[in-house]
């Protein structure tokens, strides 16, 4: 193998640049040329492909986002899109690919592998919703960003003796909400995977205020409902002075944490080693602090399982 390509696809996640750097420099250290592909699979089809050098990835480790840019390109699910992408790979002499992204990105990586271009998928998404990995690239940074914002919100909540209902990202996965809820001392955490009672949450908040607490924090994962919708329901069970906050896309930005930089670097280097061994159609993960791989096709019939013990623990800690 003489030449590989790298692309980032789907939503951006802090640490993607660190992963690209690790892929590029590991490949170069083994005498393999590396080409970056801008705008994900859309850029692949368009031929927006350029050579990477050690210098071109020299200052990206600490940067958020992705300097390769990203885009969603559902057309790549169709044969025509795949064949046009393969035409560009052949034109540039690229023999294998590293794809950094989420579920949709993995479909593209598997399609290319089936057509003779080994591809390895790296889990780049803040949602932490990929099966067979304890952590995804960007998750820790998103949690750190959200926790920092909630710490600031608590200051004003306490000053005015208010309840804040705060929406965090995660699509249909509650991992960010659980991690951030515990870290920020939330009174309640609401996620889509587990049942909840708004009435019980209201009772808990009323009891907390009666016991002298001067504020309330409720973390709601975006896959449940909006913070405005939740507050409307909450007010049916209590006359709270309350506000809502949507943290939104700020959770995708910012410098990646040390944990994300190291995770992305380990996964990127490992992806190159797998390609050098002639392997493809694999998703890289980390389980019990050990790098692992699973067939990408197996991920599509599986579901990520979060650490739901955090909910019960937080319920005890927030009394």
Whether 104 has a binding-site annotation, put simply, is yes
206 within a domain of the structure (yes/no): yes
Q: Are residues 91 and 233 in the same domain?
A: no
* 200, 236 contact by CB (below 8 A): no
CA distance 80 to 82: 5
Same domain, 277 and 218: no
Do 222 and 95 lie in one domain? The reply is no
CATH number where 154 lies: 3.40.50.460
State the helix-helix crossing angle for 139-160 and 258-276, rounded to 10 degrees.
160
Give a yes or no: residue 97 inside a domain: yes
Model's pTM, two decimal places? 0.96
Q: Which of 227, 253, 279 is the last residue of a domain?
A: 253
Buried b (16+ CB within 10 A) or exposed e, 226-242: ebeebbeebeebbebeb
Among residues 253, 270, 292, the one where a domain terminates is 253
In a domain, 172, yes or no: yes
Please check if 251 is assigned to a binding site.
yes
Please report whether residue 314 resides in a domain. Answer: no
171 known member of a binding site = yes
**Looking at the domain assignment, is residue 90 inside a domain?**
yes
Separation between Cα atoms, residue 293 and residue 275, nearest integer Å: 12
Please, are residues 130 and 122 in contact by the beta-carbon 8 Å criterion?
Answer: no
Contacts of 286 (CB under 8 A, 6+ apart): 133, 134, 135, 263, 266, 267, 292
Residue 308 lies in a domain: no
Do 14 and 130 share a structural domain?
Answer: yes
Q: 270 and 131 share a domain?
A: yes
Cite the beta strand spans of 173-281 per DSSP E: 188-190, 216-221, 242-246
What's the CA angle centered on 51, arms 59 and 113, to 5 degrees? 110
In a domain, 79, yes or no: yes
125 is known to lie in a ligand binding site: yes
Number of domains in the chain: 2
Residues 30 and 157 reside in one and the same domain: no
Contact assessment for residue 146 and residue 124, using Cβ atoms and an 8 Å cutoff: no
Q: Structural domain of residue 52, as residue ranges?
A: 3-138+256-301
Last residue of a domain, one of 253, 271, 287: 253
Query: Hey, what are 111's tokens?
Result: 């399609």
Judgement on whether residues 120 and 148 belong to the same structural domain of the protein = no
Asked if residue 231 and residue 102 are part of one domain, the reply reads: no
Residue 42: Cβ within 10 Å count = 22
Catalytic site positions: 127
Please, which contacts does 45-54 make with residues 24 or more away whose CB atoms are closer than 8 Å? 45/73, 45/75, 45/76, 45/81, 45/84, 45/85, 45/88, 46/88, 47/88, 47/91, 47/92, 49/5, 49/88, 49/92, 49/94, 52/6, 52/20, 52/24, 53/28, 54/24, 54/25, 54/28
Q: Is 103 marked as binding a ligand? A: yes
pLDDT, one tens digit for every residue, the chain (319 residues): 999 999 999 999 999 999 999 999 999 999 999 999 999 999 999 999 999 999 999 999 999 999 999 988 889 999 999 999 999 999 999 999 999 999 889 999 999 999 999 999 999 999 999 999 999 999 999 999 999 999 999 999 999 999 999 999 998 999 999 999 999 999 999 999 999 999 999 999 999 999 999 999 999 999 999 999 999 999 999 999 999 999 999 999 999 999 999 999 999 999 999 999 999 999 999 999 999 999 999 999 999 999 999 999 999 999 8
Q: What CATH number should be reported for the domain holding residue 287? A: 3.40.50.450
Q: Do 57 and 46 share a structural domain?
A: yes
Instruction: Determine if residue 105 is labeled as part of a ligand binding site.
Output: yes
> 218 and 85 in one domain?
no
- 3 annotated as ligand-binding: no
Do 247 and 273 lie in one domain? The reply is no
Residue 106 located in a structural domain: yes
94 is in an annotated binding site: no
Indicate the SS3 state at residue 131: coil
Q: Is 72 annotated as a binding residue?
A: yes
Q: Indicate whether 126 and 216 sit together in one domain.
A: no
């Amino acid at each position: 193998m003489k030449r590989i390509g790298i692309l980032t696809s789907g939503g951006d996640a802090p640490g993607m640049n660190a992963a690209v750097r690790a892929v590029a420099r590991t490949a170069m250290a083994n005498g393999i040329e590396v080409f970056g592909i801008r705008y994900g699979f859309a850029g692949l089809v368009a031929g927006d492909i350029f050579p990477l050098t050690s210098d071109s990835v020299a200052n990206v480790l600490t940067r958020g986002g992705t300097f390769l840019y990203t885009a969603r390109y559902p057309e790549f699910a169709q044969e025509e899109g795949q064949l046009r992408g393969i035409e560009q790979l052949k034109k540039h002499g690229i023999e294998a690919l590293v794809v950094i992204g989420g579920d949709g990105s993995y479909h593209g990586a598997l399609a290319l592998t089936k057509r003779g271009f080994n591809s390895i998928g790296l889990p780049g998404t803040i949602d932490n919703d990929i099966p067979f990995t304890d952590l995804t690239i960007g998750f820790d940074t998103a949690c750190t960003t959200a926790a920092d914002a909630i710490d600031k919100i608590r200051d004003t909540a306490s000053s005015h003796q208010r309840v804040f209902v705060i929406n965090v990202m995660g699509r249909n996965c509650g991992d960010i909400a659980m991690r951030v809820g515990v870290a920020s001392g939330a009174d309640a955490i609401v996620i889509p995977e587990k049942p909840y009672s708004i009435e019980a949450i209201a009772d808990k908040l009323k009891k907390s205020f009666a016991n002298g607490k001067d504020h309330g924090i409720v973390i709601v994962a975006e896959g449940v409902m909006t913070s405005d919708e939740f507050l409307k329901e909450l007010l049916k069970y209590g006359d709270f002075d309350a506000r809502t906050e949507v943290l939104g896309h700020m959770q995708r930005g910012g410098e990646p944490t040390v944990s994300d930089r190291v995770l992305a670097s380990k996964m990127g280097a490992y992806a190159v080693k797998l390609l050098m061994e002639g392997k493809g159609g694999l998703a890289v993960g980390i389980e019990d602090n050990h790098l692992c791989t699973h067939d990408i096709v197996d991920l599509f019939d599986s579901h990520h399982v979060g650490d739901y013990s955090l909910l019960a623990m937080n319920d005890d800690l927030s009394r």
